[in-house]
Structure 1
């Protein structure tokens, strides 16, 4: 979820028990009220074309909007919903009129649930709960997800039809599980969307579910344009693997897409800031470094700016650190010449060290006041402890691929303005 969205990352699951005091009883009673508006006809699944992918346009930007979103068509009849594509969490959920206990403003009418509930003993439900979780109501799967910015969603898992167009030209309408979220608390970086699209590594993730139905390879990727918009894809037909810089996923952090231990490189030189646990999180607008690394980065940046016609400004609150030029900056092109590229280097890249390069336009924004502001923030202050997070700002104008088949993360510079139409239109 965007904004200062630290979110999506460090999602953890809380057991929802009806006896959980306070609101628990209330939630439990709400859970029983299912709408019976939909017939039980199950959607036929088109014979999957495994050499096909799904490509979805993205909308939004890092600044001033603060988030990207994707439109998914769900239900019968199909209705559009805007979701936050989040590689930092697994569960896809919609704000849901079950009825809604607490919901936030959304672009579309709240999702109307059907009565195709996922039972508590289903493996998808089990994956949302700690081992040994006792089912309060065997016929349904209660969930609660909490995000790092303090936001949360509480609800019930159900199945419904998703409508996808494949790059092969086929249409696919699989039944997938999603959360009917009837009690949402907005976090600090709240955005007016219909829900979250979970793209993480877990079983409930949409790409995992599509893969388990034989529809696509278990690969998800995105291409965020610095000019706004971009595209999201499931499957591996959209890129030429030989042109991608690959690095293995860290195995000790099963929940998140992490390239493991990285080193901060500044202006092409090592900084001595090493052993950084780095996570890729499309659910976060900005990037975050742990306190020690952040302080080191800031001092390198300030040293570099010494003697340049920029001065730190205290009257622009867009981000914690902003600079004014001799006159207001109109575009990032006016300011980027004063700043150096930095990179995160992963020593276990398959061919050699894998460098994730972050040029000035992928860590700076021009604020509405014409200052240039730093889109890398102190993650320890934001509640991320020691995690270093690559957010949307630093993934702009790159195709970033999370290949769960090969257990690898890859990237390449790309033009993200035009979604590929078919497998032969490689970037």
Structure 2
């Protein structure tokens, strides 16, 4: 997610309905401790489960162009240590509820995590964002979302953090190295923070606190550990946070000292690295301390002294086996659902894709966030896409497995769009371009790593179910299940999504797109 921010710190009827309610209820019932590599459940904002929870009365139908236009509205508003010697580097770690992850599109099409904080432990549904640094929770708040409403009228309350309710909570003073004293009246006072995002007046304001984050080893032993982390006690939330985006908190995964990965590494709990896996079925995993595996692709980060991001250099674009040399930099951002490119990269990919696509191009309306959309014939069950491949600095290849979104147009016709939005400034590789990969954010070696994965059978994990059907019935809204594009073919065969039911389309529309957030700060926290 791309966010503009300033801060005084240095830096969530049917079976699905019941399943999601179960997660909300059980999140506060467990606690744990751990040591090594950490992971936790994550979720995505705009799936059918959340649409059932939040209701869809008066919203554009999922899968229509207005649906996507609404989801991308906020996007368009954005202008963008070393491990301790005694740590066992072979033992992965996870959060208390395991490392299983979920994509829940109805919450701003973001990836969400269930994190357990405090004593006694309480769970929170937080958006995961590699594009920002500060972890904050709604806390003794005067302006925040306090629950979710089911379509039948039932309401499930969110957890609201309070320092007074946790015996391990401490307020961070202005004298802390994680606090900028410039806004403190006197050095002894508590440290205020403010994160301002340029997404339609979106912000979080409060004070910094320290408390326990509950973790467990991601192995057969599942030993517990408690890590003391600093985060924002968010007393006032504004903008998108009051409209469904990150309604129960935001988990910054950036490079600054205030981010949780940085704190875990500085305390010797984990390697200064973490991974996120994005499964084609919407399930995945996040693990702290994961520094990758043999055979993965790698490319160095482009380091900047001020405002560092997970920025890499792309040197070549290939569509359908036809390469074009074009060097540009882009930020890998889990907080952005789709990918945003400026020219010349946007024109190179979109026009080449258009030349190689066989389907009839759809006449887009003015509110369409995607410029290149195509119509499927009434009985069409499969179609071919040109293979999109990126060459990274250093020469390693990165195949994009999921460059499209299937949808329903205003006239009821089925089709798909190239899920790339034209940007006027920053280039962002969003989560759709990360689908099918385990992405390694290695801050120790300062490289981005990637390896093709279904997020179930990666080495070094045993907490995901062997059979994906054992997981909750939560899946991406797109209905797209691309086949692997490895091999010599320069096209991918994509099964067309089944026609939507009357009430539950498997596709997306413009309203959902308006709630997709880009969350990364483009100037320093002060």
TM-score range with shorter-chain normalisation?
A: 0.7 to 0.9
Structure 1 segments, 4+ long, off by >6 Å, are 43-48, 315-318
| Aligned residue among 356, 359, 365 for 2:398 | 356
Paired residue secondary structure (1:271): strand
Q: CA deviation at 1:122?
A: 1.1
Q: How does 1:120-159 map to 2 (within 5 A)?
A: 120-126=174-180, 133-138=182-187, 139-150=189-200, 151-159=202-210
Residues 225 and 397 in structure 1, CA contact (< 8 A), matched pair in contact too: yes
**For residues 258 and 334 of structure 2, what CA distance do their matches in structure 1 show?**
17
Give the corresponding residue for 1:30. none
Question: Residue in 2 aligned with 1:342?
Answer: 388
Give ranges in structure 2 of 5+ residues lacking alignment.
10-30, 37-86, 149-157, 467-526
What is the aligned partner in structure 2 of residue 302 from structure 1? Answer: 354
Distance 1:161 1:397 in 2: 33
2:144 is matched with which residue? 103
Q: State how far apart, in whole Å, the 2-side matches of 1:230 and 1:47 are.
A: 22
Q: Please, which of 349, 365, 370 is the counterpart of residue 405 of structure 2?
A: 365
Is the contact made by 2:438 and 2:451 (CA closer than 8 Å) also made in structure 1? yes
Residue from 203, 219, 240 that aligns with 1:187:
240
Shift of residue 259, structure 1, vs aligned partner? 1.4
1:314 match: 364
Give the distance between the partners of 1:183 and 1:328, measured in 2 at CA: 51
Larger RCO: 1 or 2 (CA < 8 Å, sep 6+): 2
Contact 2:133 2:253 in 1 (8 A): yes
Q: Sort the Cα spacing of 1:88 and 1:324 in 2 relative to 1 into closer, same or farther, 3 A.
A: same
CA separation of 1:66 and 1:419: change in aligned 2, threshold 3 A: farther
Q: Does the 8 Å contact 1:84/1:195 carry over to 2?
A: yes
Alpha-carbon distance between aligned partners in 1 of 2:404 and 2:380, rounded to the nearest angstrom: 12
Q: How far apart, CA to CA, are the structure 2 residues paired with 1:105 and 1:329?
A: 44
Corresponding residue of 1:34: none
Q: C-alpha displacement at 1:91, in angstroms?
A: 0.8
| Contact 2:335–2:430 (CA under 8 A) maintained in structure 1 | yes
Partner residue of 1:79 out of 111, 122, 127: 122
How has the CA–CA distance of structure 1 residues 282 and 141 changed in structure 2, closer, same or farther, with 3 Å as cutoff?
same
Aligned to 1:21: none
Normalised to the residue count of structure 1, the TM-score between the two structures is 0.77
What does residue 392 of structure 1 align with? 431
SS at match of 1:181: strand
- For the pair 1:326 / 2:377, whether they are aligned, the reply is yes
SS at match of 2:209: strand
Query: Relative to structure 1, is the Cα distance of residues 117 and 44 closer, same or farther in structure 2, using a 3 angstrom cutoff?
Result: farther
Work out which of the residue numbers 81, 85, 88 in structure 1 matches 2:131: 88
* Pair 165,410 (structure 1): closer, same or farther in 2 beyond 3 Å: same
Q: Which among 328, 333, 337 is matched to residue 281 of structure 1?
A: 333
Other-structure match for 2:274: 220
What is residue 256 of structure 1 aligned with on the other side? 309
Aligned residues of 1:140 and 1:156 also touching (Cα < 8 A): yes
1:200-215 paired onto structure 2 within 5 Å: 200-215=254-269
Deviation at 1:287, TM superposition (A): 0.5
